[in-house]
Amino acid sequence: MFAQVTPKFQLPEIGIFTWNVPENRLVADEIYASIYGLSADRLAKGVEIEEVIGLIFEDDRERAARSTHAAILAGKIATIDYRIHVGGLIRSASAYGRCLRDEDGIPSFFSGGIALDLSFSFAESRRKQDH
Protein backbone atom coordinates (compact mmCIF):
# COMPACT_ATOMS: atom_id res chain seq x y z
CA MET A 1 0.00 0.00 0.00
CA PHE A 2 2.81 2.43 0.85
CA ALA A 3 5.86 2.72 -1.35
CA GLN A 4 9.29 2.50 0.25
CA VAL A 5 10.74 6.00 0.24
CA THR A 6 14.34 6.93 0.93
CA PRO A 7 14.37 9.92 3.31
CA LYS A 8 16.24 13.04 2.23
CA PHE A 9 17.91 13.25 5.64
CA GLN A 10 18.65 10.88 8.50
CA LEU A 11 15.81 10.74 11.02
CA PRO A 12 16.51 9.71 14.62
CA GLU A 13 15.06 6.46 15.84
CA ILE A 14 11.83 7.43 17.54
CA GLY A 15 10.08 5.24 20.08
CA ILE A 16 6.30 5.42 19.91
CA PHE A 17 4.04 5.16 22.95
CA THR A 18 0.39 5.43 23.98
CA TRP A 19 -0.68 5.89 27.58
CA ASN A 20 -4.27 4.90 28.36
CA VAL A 21 -4.84 7.62 30.97
CA PRO A 22 -7.98 6.23 32.71
CA GLU A 23 -6.46 2.73 32.99
CA ASN A 24 -2.94 4.06 33.72
CA ARG A 25 -1.37 1.64 31.21
CA LEU A 26 1.41 2.63 28.83
CA VAL A 27 2.13 0.54 25.73
CA ALA A 28 5.11 1.20 23.50
CA ASP A 29 7.22 -0.16 20.68
CA GLU A 30 10.64 -1.80 20.80
CA ILE A 31 12.54 1.46 20.22
CA TYR A 32 10.84 3.04 23.23
CA ALA A 33 11.70 -0.09 25.23
CA SER A 34 15.33 0.14 24.15
CA ILE A 35 15.59 3.82 25.10
CA TYR A 36 14.25 3.10 28.59
CA GLY A 37 16.05 -0.25 28.98
CA LEU A 38 12.75 -2.08 29.48
CA SER A 39 11.39 -5.33 28.10
CA ALA A 40 9.74 -4.87 24.71
CA ASP A 41 7.36 -7.76 25.49
CA ARG A 42 6.21 -6.15 28.75
CA LEU A 43 5.75 -2.75 27.10
CA ALA A 44 3.75 -4.31 24.28
CA LYS A 45 1.34 -5.64 26.93
CA GLY A 46 1.39 -2.44 28.96
CA VAL A 47 2.96 -1.21 32.19
CA GLU A 48 1.88 1.33 34.78
CA ILE A 49 3.16 4.81 33.99
CA GLU A 50 4.92 4.98 37.37
CA GLU A 51 7.41 2.33 36.20
CA VAL A 52 8.51 4.60 33.35
CA ILE A 53 8.45 7.77 35.46
CA GLY A 54 10.71 6.05 38.00
CA LEU A 55 13.45 5.84 35.35
CA ILE A 56 13.46 9.59 34.73
CA PHE A 57 16.41 11.34 36.38
CA GLU A 58 15.18 12.60 39.75
CA ASP A 59 16.07 16.25 39.04
CA ASP A 60 13.94 16.16 35.85
CA ARG A 61 10.97 14.13 37.11
CA GLU A 62 8.82 16.92 38.56
CA ARG A 63 9.30 19.18 35.53
CA ALA A 64 8.39 16.34 33.16
CA ALA A 65 5.29 15.51 35.22
CA ARG A 66 4.17 19.17 35.30
CA SER A 67 4.62 19.52 31.54
CA THR A 68 2.69 16.31 30.86
CA HIS A 69 -0.10 17.29 33.25
CA ALA A 70 -0.41 20.73 31.63
CA ALA A 71 -0.60 19.09 28.19
CA ILE A 72 -3.36 16.75 29.40
CA LEU A 73 -5.39 19.67 30.76
CA ALA A 74 -4.87 21.90 27.72
CA GLY A 75 -5.06 19.22 25.03
CA LYS A 76 -1.96 20.70 23.40
CA ILE A 77 1.29 19.08 22.29
CA ALA A 78 3.93 18.86 24.99
CA THR A 79 7.65 18.68 24.27
CA ILE A 80 9.90 17.63 27.11
CA ASP A 81 13.67 17.16 27.38
CA TYR A 82 14.85 15.02 30.27
CA ARG A 83 17.38 12.43 31.37
CA ILE A 84 16.76 8.73 31.99
CA HIS A 85 18.63 6.25 34.21
CA VAL A 86 19.43 3.15 32.13
CA GLY A 87 21.77 0.40 33.33
CA GLY A 88 23.90 2.69 35.49
CA LEU A 89 24.17 5.36 32.77
CA ILE A 90 22.26 8.55 32.16
CA ARG A 91 20.67 9.14 28.75
CA SER A 92 19.28 12.43 27.53
CA ALA A 93 16.01 12.26 25.60
CA SER A 94 13.42 14.47 23.94
CA ALA A 95 9.79 13.43 24.02
CA TYR A 96 6.60 14.85 22.61
CA GLY A 97 2.99 13.90 23.01
CA ARG A 98 -0.61 14.97 22.99
CA CYS A 99 -3.60 13.86 24.99
CA LEU A 100 -6.71 12.88 23.07
CA ARG A 101 -10.16 13.10 24.65
CA ASP A 102 -13.18 10.84 24.45
CA GLU A 103 -16.63 11.95 23.24
CA ASP A 104 -17.35 13.44 26.70
CA GLY A 105 -14.17 15.51 26.64
CA ILE A 106 -12.40 13.33 29.23
CA PRO A 107 -8.65 12.77 28.69
CA SER A 108 -8.28 9.25 27.30
CA PHE A 109 -5.06 8.52 25.39
CA PHE A 110 -1.75 10.35 25.57
CA SER A 111 0.28 9.39 22.50
CA GLY A 112 3.67 10.51 21.27
CA GLY A 113 7.28 9.67 20.64
CA ILE A 114 10.72 9.82 22.21
CA ALA A 115 14.23 9.99 20.78
CA LEU A 116 17.65 9.99 22.37
CA ASP A 117 19.70 13.17 22.26
CA LEU A 118 22.75 11.80 20.46
CA SER A 119 24.78 14.91 21.28
CA PHE A 120 24.68 13.94 24.97
CA SER A 121 27.99 12.15 25.39
CA PHE A 122 29.02 9.23 27.56
CA ALA A 123 31.53 11.54 29.29
CA GLU A 124 28.74 13.97 30.23
CA SER A 125 26.70 11.05 31.51
CA ARG A 126 29.55 9.86 33.73
CA ARG A 127 30.36 13.39 34.95
CA LYS A 128 26.74 14.09 35.93
CA GLN A 129 26.38 10.69 37.54
CA ASP A 130 29.48 11.24 39.70
CA HIS A 131 28.13 14.54 41.09
- The better pLDDT of the pair 117, 38 is held by 38
Q: What is the pLDDT of residues 64-105, one digit of tens each?
A: 999 999 999 998 999 999 999 888 889 999 999 999 999 999
User: Above 60 in pLDDT, residue 121?
Assistant: no
The pLDDT value recorded for residue 10 is 56
Are the C-beta atoms of 33 and 40 separated by less than 8 Å?
Answer: yes
pLDDT band per the 50, 70, 90 thresholds, residue 13: confident
The dihedral through the CA atoms of 88, 90, 94, 100 has a sign that is positive
The pLDDT value recorded for residue 3 is 66
Q: What φ, ψ does residue 36 adopt, rounded to 5°? A: -90, -5
User: What's domain 15-130's superfamily in CATH?
Assistant: PAS domain (3.30.450.20)
DSSP, residue by residue, 55-115: TB-HHHHHHHHHHHHHHHHHT--EEEEEEEEETTEEEEEEEEEEEEE-TTS-EEEEEEEEE
Of 50, 120, 37, 45, whose CA–CA distance to 85 is shortest?
A: 37
The dihedral through the CA atoms of 127, 117, 83, 78 has a sign that is positive
User: Above 60 in pLDDT, residue 12?
Assistant: yes
Domain boundaries, the chain: 15-130
pTM confidence score: 0.80
DSSP, residue by residue, 18-72: EEETTTTEEEE-HHHHHHHT--HHHHHH-EEHHHHHTTB-HHHHHHHHHHHHHHH
Average confidence (pLDDT) over 7-16 = 73
User: Above 80 in pLDDT, residue 5?
Assistant: no
Task: Say which amino acid occupies 124.
Answer: E
Cα distances (Å, whole numbers) of residue 24 to 19, 21, 61: 7, 5, 17
Q: What is the pLDDT of residues 19-72, one digit of tens each?
A: 999 999 999 999 999 999 999 999 999 999 999 999 999 999 999 999 999 999
